[in-house]
Amino acid sequence: MIGTCLGGLTVYKPTTLEDAFAILIEHGSDAAILAGGTDLLVDLRVQRRDEHHLVSLANITELRGVTETENGVSIGAATTLNDLLHSDVIQQNYPAIIEATQVMGSNQIRNTGTIGGNIASAVPSADLPPVLLVLGAEVVLASKDGERTVPICEFFQGVRKTCVAIGEIVKSISLPNPSGSAVYERFDLRQGNSLAVAAVAANITMDGDTVADAKVALGAVAPTPEIVEGVNAILCGNTCNDNLVHEVAQLATQASNPITDLRGSAQYRRELVGILTTRAIKRSVEAEQ
């Protein structure tokens, strides 16, 4: 397929996944997948990356949209953040995705940025991963050899590193039918176009007055977004009182491994994890009642 040359870059606009795979294989590590470009084009400009062949997903229509399935929903990787915000099924069944999406970037960023790009960039402060973790999402990866499905907790492998192999494309993100009441708490330095300093998603399922299932995930406070292990052991089978919430907040703080940067010190971020975890659990439990 012939691409369009722009400066030192060649941009290809395949209309099928098969054509996209062929270009990715032909150019190997010199090719990058271009979705909205809100991360990639910045990285190329500041020379954090140096691929010369960009495979745009813009014309592969099967990658865009939210589809209800027997078990939940399938979200095409090239679905934009604004598509998510305007999706009826996401609004009704997965409001935590709306909470996370509406604080991301600006309207311009949400118009072009995609869910696939948000997870595939594997930037620690990305907003959707913590929510996808507590919702039990799975990532569908496609290549010329077929498809494989990876639980989102195995997708992230380090700062800007994922399990996506050369020649693979994130095709969709699957969410199971909702259970519990997921919520998202993020702390940032200003509204609009700022990244999370620390973020926590929680998803508590109540059975009457007792906790039946509990998940907490952290963002922006470790090299990868991560589930906090051990939360169920503290909360499950108990009524959710302040002491137990405090215990989980301490556990989450210990699980975090933040860095110090311009947006906040490691110590500040650890303290934020405790506060955001407490808020998220309380709000999730309230939403269950």
Ligand X SMILES: Cc1cc2nc3c(=O)[nH]c(=O)nc-3n(C[C@H](O)[C@H](O)[C@H](O)COP(=O)(O)OP(=O)(O)OC[C@H]3O[C@@H](n4cnc5c(N)ncnc54)[C@H](O)[C@@H]3O)c2cc1C
Choose between 162 and 278: whose C-beta lies nearer to ligand X.
162
Is residue 74 a contact point for ligand X (CB under 6 A)? no
Please state, in angstroms and rounded to a whole number, the distance separating the CA atoms of residues 140 and 57: 16
Q: Does 121 bind ligand X (CB under 6 A)?
A: yes
Choice from 21, 23, 39, 97 touching ligand X (CB under 6 A):
39
Distance CA 126, CA 104 (A): 9
Binding of ligand X by 140 (CB under 6 A): no
Q: By CB neighbour count within 10 A (0-12 exposed, 13-18 middle, 19+ buried), where does 130 fall?
A: buried
Give the span between the Cα atoms of 35 and 80, in whole angstroms. Answer: 9
Choice from 34, 73, 245, 251 touching ligand X (CB under 6 A): 34
Determine the size of the site formed for ligand X (CB under 6 A): 31
Dump strand ranges (E) for the chain.
Answer: 4-6, 9-12, 31-34, 53-56, 66-68, 72-76, 138-143, 146-151, 156-158, 161-162, 169-176, 181-187, 198-207, 210-219, 226-227
Measured from the CB atom, the residue of 104 and 276 that comes closer to ligand X is 104
Question: What sign results for the dihedral spanned by CA atoms 127, 151, 67, 179?
Answer: negative
Give the rounded distance of the alpha carbon of 48 from its chain centre.
Answer: 21
Of the candidate residues 118, 181, 256, 284, the single one contacting ligand X (CB under 6 A): 118
Closest separation in Å from C-beta 204 to ligand X: 24
Q: How far is the CB of 125 from ligand X (least distance, A)?
A: 6
Element (H, E) at 103: none
Tell me which residues in 249-288 interact with ligand X (CB under 6 A).
none
Residues in 163-182 that interact with ligand X by CB under 6 A: 164, 169-170
Asked if 185 touches ligand X (CB under 6 A), the answer is: no
Identify the CA nearest to 56 among candidates 125, 7, 10: 10
Contact status: 99 vs ligand X (CB under 6 A)? no
The residue (of 26 and 207) whose beta carbon lies closer to ligand X is 26
Q: Pick the closer one to ligand X by CB: 33 or 221.
A: 33
Among 79, 83, 97, 113, binds ligand X (CB under 6 A): 113
Does residue 187 contact residue 106 with C-beta atoms inside 8 Å? no
Binding of ligand X by 37 (CB under 6 A)? yes
Please give the Cα distance from 268 to 110 (Å, whole number). Answer: 29
Q: Are 128 and 83 in contact (CB under 8 A)?
A: no
- Give least dist CB 161 to ligand X, A: 10
Note the residues at the interface with ligand X (CB under 6 A): 32-40, 42, 57, 77, 81, 104-105, 109, 112-114, 116-118, 120-121, 126-127, 164, 169-170, 193, 195
